[in-house]
């Protein structure tokens, strides 16, 4: 993944400017209950899947060790995006043996919080396969309690070392927020919630399409900062076990680059 910061080269560790209290006992109990419930769901899924015959496929085995640090995870995503941009995708981790293995557990190495836009599926733009990424997708990467809980589960329960907040060029949700503010229009149903959440990130120093494009990046930074300020996530950032980074996907070049 490239970066828009001249001071940052390569895909090393993200600086850890936030710190917070370690998880409380109450949080541990809640996560234990959640783990139990999800384990049961996985077992049910395994029993349902057993009745389906395996499909023919060419095994693609990855002999590389799974990324275990923020820097390693960033480098793996950067390598995958380079393959995607060059149309040399490997489509890893799809073979029948791995599918059976995943029925009993998962060890993803990154959480990607991205937009629902159909042109930006994280597993494709990073060329990753089954069990590699835990993805959460909302219009404009908007946060709510369900999103926060999903990200926290991946980090605190599965030990994932990297969270990427992935915005993208020509985001429709961001455009809607900018245009709604300019016109004073109220959007129907639950879409107004999205506009309200993106609103604080609107860049008023620019106009027209430039305002929308700048707000895409500003919104990523706001969401990233909110996640990094969550006490239990901040505690892991402070110990170097977690990095939360912001990034953009450019539709015109298919490149992902980091936001400073």
Q: Is 87 marked as binding a ligand?
A: no
CATH of the domain at 139: 3.40.1050.10
Report angle CA 30, 228, 226 to the nearest 5 degrees.
95
Q: Is 257 marked as binding a ligand?
A: no
10 in a structural domain: no
Task: Look at the chain and report how many structural domains it folds into.
Answer: 1
51 in a structural domain: no
213 in a structural domain: yes
27 in a structural domain: no
Mean pLDDT score of the chain: 83
9 in a structural domain: no
Per-residue confidence (pLDDT) for residue 37, from 0 to 100 = 44
173 in a structural domain: yes
Per-residue confidence (pLDDT) for residue 57, from 0 to 100 = 39
Candidate from 29-38, 137-146, 178-187, 205-214 with smallest mean pLDDT: 29-38
39 in a structural domain: no
Domain of 108? 70-258
245: left (phi over 0), alpha (psi -120 to 50) or beta: beta
Please, which pLDDT band fits residue 64 given cuts at 50, 70 and 90? confident
Average pLDDT over residues 115-120: 98
Give Cα 241 distance to the centre of its chain: 17
DSSP helix/strand/coil, 96: helix
- Read off the pLDDT of residues 163-216 as tens digits, 9 standing for 90 and up: 999 999 999 999 999 999 999 999 999 999 999 999 999 999 999 999 999 999
Yes or no: say if 165 and 244 are a contact pair by the CB < 8 Å rule: yes
15 in a structural domain: no
Q: What distance in Å separates the CA atoms of residue 194 and residue 98, rounded to the nearest whole number?
A: 38
């Amino acid at each position: 993944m490239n970066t828009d910061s001249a001071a940052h080269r390569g895909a090393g560790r993200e600086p850890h400017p936030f710190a917070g209290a370690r998880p409380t006992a109450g949080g541990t109990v809640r996560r234990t209950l959640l783990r139990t419930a999800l384990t049961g769901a996985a077992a049910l899924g395994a029993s349902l899947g057993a009745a389906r015959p395996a499909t023919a496929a060419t095994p693609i085995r990855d002999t590389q060790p799974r990324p275990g640090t923020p820097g390693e995870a960033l480098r793996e995503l950067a390598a995958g995006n380079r393959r995607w941009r060059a149309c040399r995708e490997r489509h890893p981790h799809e073979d029948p043996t791995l599918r059976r293995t995943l029925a009993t557990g998962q060890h993803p190495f990154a959480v990607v919080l991205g937009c629902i836009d159909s042109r930006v599926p994280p597993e494709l733009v990073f060329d990753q396969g089954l069990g590699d990424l835990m993805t959460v997708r909302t219009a404009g990467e908007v946060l709510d309690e369900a999103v926060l809980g999903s990200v926290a589960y991946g980090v605190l329960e599965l030990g994932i070392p990297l969270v990427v907040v992935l915005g993208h060029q020509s985001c429709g949700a961001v455009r809607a927020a900018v245009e709604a503010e300019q016109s004073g229009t109220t959007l129907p149903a639950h879409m107004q919630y999205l506009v309200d959440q993106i609103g604080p990130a609107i860049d008023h120093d620019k106009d027209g399409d430039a305002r929308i494009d700048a707000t895409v990046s500003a919104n990523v930074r706001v969401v990233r900062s909110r996640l990094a300020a969550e006490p239990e996530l901040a505690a892991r950032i402070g110990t170097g076990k977690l990095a939360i980074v912001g990034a953009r996907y450019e539709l015109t070049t298919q490149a992902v680059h980091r936001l400073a």
